[in-house]
């Protein structure tokens, strides 16, 4: 089964009909005949989605929805309200009070299943992001994310400029977000920093289905991949409505539409987009912290060893690995203090980075030890690189705020080159480490090449 759905309706026949439709689509179905039973099952069974009839004897479906959304245990479960009331005021009221969607009886099966697929997909993404965020928080990697409180930008992509301006004029008084009428060709040219948060797109633009093709294009481009999309379709066009939802539209609405309902649906989509962006940024920050050394900003040992394994498998002339260690660093801490020692490590990391290409690997392994890996180079080029790094570190004392005196530092380097196709990263690191020991033994501040590097 692909998901568990709770069907809530006081009429047994309605529940049975809904169960048959959902079971045919491979969903597992739970049933409740009143609001109180729905609340109990929602808490105990945690369904993936709830189909909730509005008119019930003990309490209205809207009241049940409010209670579900106010309970932290059930707040994240998507709710679709189902009712015989087709007026816009009822829809707007249901959406404002927490419903994720609103369907009118008799429910079209194609629309129902498309809405269910869309909401389950969105809910699963949110759940996965939250799990990852919680995991990073548990490991101590979580950081507060900021910058998500600005009003979301809305782009209106209409069949023509006059219709776009009419949408904008109507929405202006009821939507507190920047609105822009955007021609189709400009929608695909937005940069990541300037991309709208929500596209409201007509299914038919200059030609039939051009809006659906635009939706597909937006989902494939980095700048607009995570933007919300609300598709406007001709009245009764349920087949293409289902296609739009399956292509990634977050919501659909049929023209002619009530401007108040469109405004509420825009607000809902922007809220979901903001939540997803916040979660995604938190996860990305956690990932970055998980593989980054906080003092120097370089990658840490965990990342470096995995990256080196991948570099070893790539085609080319081979990989040069350098183990670098600051000489007499303990005396720096003893003489100048640990704060000065931290400043030295950060300054050395910057000097090393300035000598390397963006694709080269530079990591802090711990303490005063660093790792450099350079891909697809010969032995002569690798040796020149190692000498350049050594000189960059030792050519001038470290200075900066908080340092009473310039601190002279030097660095010893051990270099090893891959020389057999099946050699592992572990063996290469061992040879580079042995070469580093040779540099220390021979007087420090020099480069030693592994004896088996030829």
The three-state (H, E, C) secondary structure of 207-274, written as one string: CCCHHHHHHHHHHHCCCCCCCEEEEEEECCCHHHHHHHHHHCCCEEEEECCCHHHHHHHHHHHHHHHH
Q: Residue range 70-76: average pLDDT?
A: 92
Would you give the distance in Å from CA 413 to the centre of its chain?
A: 39
Range 141-152 average pLDDT? 58
Q: pLDDT-based confidence at 283, cuts 50/70/90?
A: low
Which has more pLDDT, 156 or 143? 156
- With a cut of 90, say whether residue 145 has pLDDT above it: no
DSSP string computed for 284-344: HHHHHHHTB-TTT-SB-HHHHHHHHHHHHHS-SS-EEEEEEEETTHHHHHHHH-HHHHHHH
Quote the tokens at residue 31: 């049933």
pLDDT of 217 above 90? yes
Q: Is the pLDDT of residue 417 over 80?
A: yes
pLDDT at site 130: 67
pLDDT at site 307: 86
d(CA 133, CA 120): 20
pLDDT tens for 147-174 read 555 678 999 999 999 999 999 999 999 9
Residue 286 clears pLDDT 70, i.e. is over it? no
Q: Given 239, 261, 368, 423, which residue is catalytic?
A: 368
> What is the C-alpha to C-alpha distance for residues 365 and 369, in angstroms, rounded to an integer?
6
Task: Give the model's pLDDT for residue 287.
Answer: 65
**Is the model's pLDDT at 139 over the cut of 70?**
no
pLDDT of residue 90: 82
The C-alpha atoms of residue 300 and residue 314 are separated, in whole angstroms, by: 21
- Give pLDDT, residue 302: 84
pLDDT at 50 over 70: yes
Nearest to 60 by CA among 80, 34, 78, 37: 34
The structure tokens 């950060």 sit at: 346
Token readout for 381 is 């080029």
pTM for the whole structure: 0.65
Report the distance separating Cα 209 and Cα 215, nearest Å. Answer: 10
Q: What share of the chain has pLDDT > 70, as a percent?
A: 90
Quick one: pLDDT at residue 129? 65
Beta-sheet strand order (sheet of 447-449) = 361-366, 369-375, 319-326, 411-417, 447-449
With contact defined as beta carbons under 8 Å apart, do 291 and 302 qualify?
yes
- Average pLDDT on 287-291 reads 70
The stretch 327-341 carries a mean pLDDT of: 91
**The dihedral sign for the CA sequence 345, 376, 416, 308:** positive
Q: Is 368 a catalytic residue?
A: yes
Nearest to 59 by CA among 40, 86, 73: 40
Question: Looking at per-residue confidence, does 130 or 60 come out higher?
Answer: 60
pLDDT tens, position by position, 390-400? 999 999 999 98
Q: Which pLDDT score is estimated for 454?
A: 42
* Strand 154-157 relative to strand 179-181, pairing: parallel
CA distances to 8, 16, 70, 251, 271 from 41, rounded to whole Å, are: 10, 18, 16, 27, 27
With contact defined as beta carbons under 8 Å apart, do 204 and 254 qualify? no
Coil, strand or helix at 160:
coil
User: In terms of C-beta distances under 8 Å and separation of at least 24 residues, what long-range contacts does 86-93 make, across chains too?
Assistant: 88/258, 88/260, 88/261, 90/54, 91/258, 91/261, 92/258, 92/260, 92/261, 92/264, 93/62
Identify the pLDDT of residue 403.
81
Instruction: Calculate mean pLDDT across residues 2-10.
Output: 91
Question: Distance between CA atoms of 201 and 186, rounded to whole angstroms?
Answer: 13
pLDDT score of 356 more than 60: yes
Least confident of 195-209, 236-250, 265-279, 331-345: 265-279
> What confidence tier does 372 reach under pLDDT thresholds 50, 70, 90?
very high
pLDDT, tens only, 240-261: 999 999 999 999 999 999 999 9
**Does an H or E element contain 52, and which?**
strand 49-53
**Cis omega (within 30 of 0) for bond into 427:** no
Mean pLDDT over 1-25 rounds to 91
How far apart CA 85 and CA 399 sit, in angstroms, is: 74
Position 453 scores a pLDDT of 44
Strands 319-326 and 411-417: antiparallel
pLDDT recorded at residue 137:
60
Asked whether the beta carbons of 305 and 266 are under 8 A apart, the reply is: no
Over residues 170-214, the pLDDT tens digits come to 999 999 889 999 998 888 776 656 789 999 999 999 899 999 999
Above 80 in pLDDT, residue 292?
A: yes
User: Which among 92, 200, 196, 100 has a CA at the least distance from the CA of 151?
Assistant: 196
Note the pLDDT of residue 312. Answer: 84
């Amino acid at each position: 089964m692909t998901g568990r759905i709770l069907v809530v309706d006081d009429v047994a026949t309605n529940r049975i009909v809904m169960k048959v439709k959902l079971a045919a689509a491979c969903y597992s179905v739970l049933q409740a005949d009143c609001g109180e039973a729905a609340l109990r099952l929602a808490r105990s069974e945690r369904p993936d989605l709830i189909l909730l009839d509005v008119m019930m004897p003990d309490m209205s479906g809207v009241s049940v929805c409010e209670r579900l959304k106010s309970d932290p245990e059930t707040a994240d479960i998507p709710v679709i309200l189902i009712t015989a009331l087709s007026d816009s005021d009822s829809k707007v009221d249901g959406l404002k009070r927490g419903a994720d969607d609103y369907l009118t009886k008799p429910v079209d099966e194609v629309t129902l299943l498309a809405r269910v697929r869309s909401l389950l997909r969105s809910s699963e993404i949110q759940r996965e992001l939250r799990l990852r965020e919680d995991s990073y928080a548990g490991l101590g990697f979580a950081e507060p994310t900021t910058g998500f409180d600005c009003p979301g930008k809305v782009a209106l992509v209409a069949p023509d400029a006059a219709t776009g301006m009419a949408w904008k004029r109507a929405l202006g008084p009821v939507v507190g977000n920047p609105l822009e009428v955007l021609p189709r060709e400009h929608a695909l040219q937005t940069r990541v920093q300037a991309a709208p948060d929500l596209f409201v797109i007509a299914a038919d633009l200059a030609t039939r289905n051009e809006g659906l093709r635009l939706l597909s294009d937006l989902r494939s481009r980095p700048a607009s991949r995570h933007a919300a999309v609300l598709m406007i379709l001709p009245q009764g066009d349920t087949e293409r409505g289902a296609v739009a939802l399956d292509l990634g539209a977050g919501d659909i609405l049929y023209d002619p539409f009530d401007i108040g309902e469109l405004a509420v649906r825009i607000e809902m989509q922007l809220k979901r987009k903001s939540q997803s962006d916040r979660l995604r940024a938190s996860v990305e920050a956690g990932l970055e912290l998980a593989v980054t050394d906080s003092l120097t900003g370089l990658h840490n040992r965990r990342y470096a060893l995995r990256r080196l394994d991948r570099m070893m498998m790539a085609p080319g002339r081979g990989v040069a690995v350098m183990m670098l260690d600051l000489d007499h660093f303990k005396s720096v801490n003893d003489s100048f203090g640990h704060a000065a020692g931290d400043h030295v490590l950060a300054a050395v990391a910057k000097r090393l980075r300035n000598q390397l290409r963006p694709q080269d690997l530079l990591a802090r392994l711990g303490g005063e030890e660093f790792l450099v890996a350079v891909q697809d180079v010969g032995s002569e080029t690798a040796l020149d690189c190692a000498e350049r790094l050594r000189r960059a570190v030792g050519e001038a004392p470290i200075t900066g705020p908080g340092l009473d005196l310039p601190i002279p530092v030097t660095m010893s380097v051990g270099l090893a080159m891959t020389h057999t196709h099946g050699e592992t990263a572990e063996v290469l690191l061992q040879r580079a480490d042995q070469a580093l020991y040779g540099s220390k033994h021979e007087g420090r501040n020099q480069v030693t090449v592994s004896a088996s590097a030829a």
